Structure 1
Amino acid sequence: MILNLLKSKIHCATVTEANLQYMGSITIDEWLMEKAHMVANERVQIVNNNNGARLETYVIPGVRGSGVICLNGAAARWVQPGDTVIIMAYVFMDEKEAAAYRPIVVMVDGSNTVCEIRTGEYQNQIL
Structure 2
Amino acid sequence: MTEITYSHTTQRMSQIVTHGDTIYLAGQVGTAGASVTQQTQDCLAKIDALLAEAGSSKARILQATIWLADMADFAEMNAVWDAWVPEGRAPARACGESKLATPDFTVEILITAAKG
Q: TM-score, normalised by structure 2?
A: 0.34
Please identify which structure carries the higher strand content: 1
